[in-house]
Amino acid sequence: MAQALRPLFVTVTWGAGGTTAGKSLELAEICQRQLQLTTCLHLTCTNMNRKLIDEALEEAKALGIRNILALRGDPPRSADYNTEGDDDSNREFTWAVDLVRYIRRVYGDYFCIGVAAYPEGHPGDSYTEVQDVNKDLPYLVEKVQAGADFIMTQLTYDIEAYQKFEEMLRNHPSGAFKTIPIMPGLMPIQGYKSLTRVTKLSGARIPPPILERLEDVKQDDDAVKRVGVDILC
């Protein structure tokens, strides 16, 4: 059953500050070992001290997981997490590029490292920040040049925005994106309310024609799913 849809790989998310570390690694083990699915483990570095990151990477290696999606995670809030003392990760791991560099330095080429990109611009840490793809680009260049092997984008339903974004990357003067695999984020549509909530949080735009189709059936979750499958296809 696990192989019925022939997935290229599956990803397992990671809670802010390592709050779901145990459950994430347990699920990753089930996927990788029991179901024999190539597994990509998300790993955030903000609010994570080096000891926790080392433990996560060593456990992943022991489980045979060789794919890591290196993320910053939620904005630094040391007071909310157990990151006291001299090993406070907010001083050592501020951005995703810090994690990419650390993994490459410690593990060489053992892990295949992915990084995130935002076809419609990063939503920022406050609702007042303007999303700007061009503002994000230098950081993405830095992550790729630090050793990233692939790019996975934030969810998007605006195919024109995505195509424009990918074309911009491929033609970027740095040459950093000429051959690197870029995977578009396509999230299944489970319900109208959940869709509007997650797109608001991520800053993703729902094109009017798609929104109109969903609004016509928004009271019927089964109908929303059927329309959602068609939209994603």
At residue 83, the pLDDT reads: 46
State the average pLDDT over residues 120-145: 86
Q: Measuring CA to CA, how many Å separate 54 from each of 32, 48, 172, 191?
A: 20, 10, 34, 38
pLDDT one-digit tens code per residue, 209-218 = 999 999 999 9
* Digit-coded pLDDT (tens) for 216-230: 999 999 999 999 999
DSSP calls for 32-62: IIIS---EEEEEE-TT--HHHHHHHHHHHHH
User: What average pLDDT is seen over the chain?
Assistant: 89
Helix pair angle (221-232, 208-215), 10° resolution: 150
Beta bridge partners of 113: 68
Tokens representing 124 are: 């920022």
Among the residue ranges 131-140, 146-155, 167-176, the one predicted with the least confidence is 131-140
Give the integer Cα–Cα distance in Å for 167 and 64.
35
**Would you tell me how many other CB atoms lie within 10 Å of the CB of residue 154?**
18
Please state the separation of Cα 211 from the chain's center in Å. 24
**Closest Cα partner for 204 from 156, 168, 149, 132?**
156
pLDDT of residue 75: 63
Q: Which residue has the higher pLDDT, 52 or 101?
A: 101
State what percent of residues in the chain have pLDDT above 70.
89
Query: Can you give the pLDDT at residue 226?
Result: 95
Report pLDDT digits (tens) over 6-49: 888 999 998 777 777 889 999 999 999 999 999 999 999 887 88
Inform me whether the pLDDT recorded for 120 exceeds 90.
yes
What pLDDT, on the 0 to 100 scale, is given for residue 92? 79
Is 52:21 a contact under the CB 8 Å cutoff? yes
For residue 19, the model assigns a pLDDT of 77
Question: Rounded to two decimals, what is the model's pTM?
Answer: 0.87
Q: By the 8 A CB rule, do 73 and 46 touch?
A: yes
